[in-house]
Structure 1
């Protein structure tokens, strides 16, 4: 007999226990044995169960908050909307359950909400664009003429009175006014006369009053006014104009040194190629700082290299950028695409070899030299670094090689020969 028999087999051989009587308390009932683990309690749902009584209350609240159209309201809708529009309104209301609006809907509090609550059937003169009207909507003649001085003054007075009537529906206040009310009244009067002076009805006149009113009607205007922007304190604080930006004193000195303007300075392409940390051991301990090496170029024959180091990262980068722009030097380019012949330059243990290539060859160089060639405006170039490939030395050697090229006319003057002969010798008999 195996000793690994399950426990339930042993308990099955035991004598059957008598069933507990009704008088036996629950604490003294025998505990049943099960072969499986007990099931955990059922998880409660995330949403509450709605009872039938509560559902009736919800229906009652929904019908009170969002009542259906009665007969009088339906008759008013028929006067304003077409039968197709009324059918669309009924279909939309049938698709939306008022109970969902009551339980899930809420009033918007975001800054982009509409400043009024209505059915969006009325056109707001400030927020909404007015509907365009064709010229046929103007009844009568549509001829205008320039108004003389007398007609202009009369029209301005009439238009200013209309504007003041809109500002003060109950009449312009008179009598003894406080200082604040007097200043407000003067400002409103000035605004009313300014609007009257800019109104086209004060400039033109004609025999048809409807045509004159159409001059100031936005529905007949070709250019509608822009929608108002959101003006609040946060928007005013975050909006920064170009003239409000703080000017860097280093940039100011650089512009004065180079005799440039800001537009020319923005045309310079700047890129940081090397960033690494350095440590200076002093008696106060180790002082860590960041080193930056940046190149600058205009893509049209100017190239500069600058270095910067500071404890603050942004300060060191600005130093390297300003130094690179200040160190801009011209790079001679053959046909504005490649170098004059082959170049070689050695800085410390690093040697850089640059080779001129025919049109369409491209920049087949390592990434550091590629960025420098693109900043200088070179398009066809090949390069090798046979010895040490220290990044800083590669950049410096390439910069020195590109800026210290010997032009064919300089070689011709030094040898006392003609430029054509020098070019043949310089390019090995092949001019491309």
Structure 2
């Protein structure tokens, strides 16, 4: 029987693809189910995964053991990656609000050198995304699930000048020159 040409390193490709992602465990919740004879404990994990180049996703996994819950959450996060346009690869194009349930967040673009000014779950999202400068504030629920979902709601509203120009049928320079004019009049 002849050796197969292409099947030999399938596992290696999968490991290379997985290694490009940075995953951050945001929250673990221990849940108890009361049964005859005691309690059965389970674990729920919230994980954020990103490639630090503009793609990020989050996932939720539940299992009887923590490592299994984290693995399920990581797989779920990789299935739901979203691409976020970043200005100069480091910050947002414009300020934006996000909301999910009682979780409300405000994200603002920041000048170079500011760093990530954000708390807990939002910081994990920005670090996985590869964002370097951002100012964020959570104004609602401190529940990590709602904060992460509200952050994703805000990031999905983010639009690059290229996308806005394409939608309006204009040139990118027209969009950016109008923005500069508004900034000059605001000062």
TM range (shorter): 0.7 to 0.9
**1:421–1:284 Cα change, 3 Å:** farther
Determine if the alignment matches structure 1 residue 373 to structure 2 residue 126: yes
Determine if the alignment matches structure 1 residue 415 to structure 2 residue 168: yes
Report if the CA contact (8 A) 1:332-1:403 is conserved. Answer: no
Partner Cα separation in structure 2 for residue 282 and residue 412 of structure 1: 60
Q: Which residue of 1 aligns with 2:67?
A: 314
Summarize the alignment of residues 57-136 of structure 1 with structure 2, pairs less than 5 Å apart.
Answer: none
Q: TM-score, normalization: structure 2?
A: 0.80
Q: TM-score, normalization: structure 1?
A: 0.37
Determine if the alignment matches structure 1 residue 362 to structure 2 residue 108: no
Matched positions, count: 173
Report if the CA contact (8 A) 2:100-2:153 is conserved. Answer: no
Partner Cα separation in structure 2 for residue 343 and residue 284 of structure 1: 51
Q: CA deviation at 1:303?
A: 0.8
- In the alignment, structure 2 segments of 5+ residues that lack a partner are 1-10
Q: Which residue of 2 aligns with 1:342?
A: 95
Partner Cα separation in structure 1 for residue 118 and residue 178 of structure 2: 26
Q: CA deviation at 1:310?
A: 1.1
Q: CA deviation at 1:342?
A: 0.7
Q: Which structure's CA Rg is the greater one?
A: 1
Q: CA deviation at 1:329?
A: 2.1
Partner Cα separation in structure 1 for residue 92 and residue 139 of structure 2: 20
Partner Cα separation in structure 2 for residue 282 and residue 302 of structure 1: 42
Higher relative contact order (CA 8 A, sep 6+): 2
- In the alignment, structure 1 segments of 5+ residues that lack a partner are 1-251
Q: Deviations over 1:51-108 (max 9, x none)?
A: xxxxxxxxxxxxxxxxxxxxxxxxxxxxxxxxxxxxxxxxxxxxxxxxxxxxxxxxxx
Q: Describe the SS at the equivalent of 1:398.
A: helix
Partner Cα separation in structure 2 for residue 261 and residue 289 of structure 1: 29
Q: Equivalent of 1:273, from 26, 50, 56?
A: 26
Determine if the alignment matches structure 1 residue 300 to structure 2 residue 53: yes
Q: CA deviation at 1:415?
A: 3.5
Report if the CA contact (8 A) 2:112-2:133 is conserved. Answer: yes
Report if the CA contact (8 A) 2:26-2:47 is conserved. Answer: yes
Summarize the alignment of residues 100-179 of structure 1 with structure 2, pairs less than 5 Å apart.
Answer: none
Summarize the alignment of residues 12-27 of structure 1 with structure 2, pairs less than 5 Å apart.
Answer: none
Report if the CA contact (8 A) 1:299-1:376 is conserved. Answer: yes
Q: CA deviation at 1:306?
A: 0.8
Structure with greater helix percent: 1
Report if the CA contact (8 A) 1:344-1:351 is conserved. Answer: yes
Structure with greater strand percent: 2
Q: Describe the SS at the equivalent of 2:183.
A: coil
Determine if the alignment matches structure 1 residue 397 to structure 2 residue 157: no
Q: CA deviation at 1:304?
A: 1.2
Partner Cα separation in structure 1 for residue 139 and residue 179 of structure 2: 24
Q: Which residue of 1 aligns with 2:183?
A: 429
Partner Cα separation in structure 1 for residue 86 and residue 112 of structure 2: 13
**1:306–1:383 Cα change, 3 Å:** same
Report if the CA contact (8 A) 1:341-1:426 is conserved. Answer: no
Q: Equivalent of 1:327, from 64, 67, 80?
A: 80
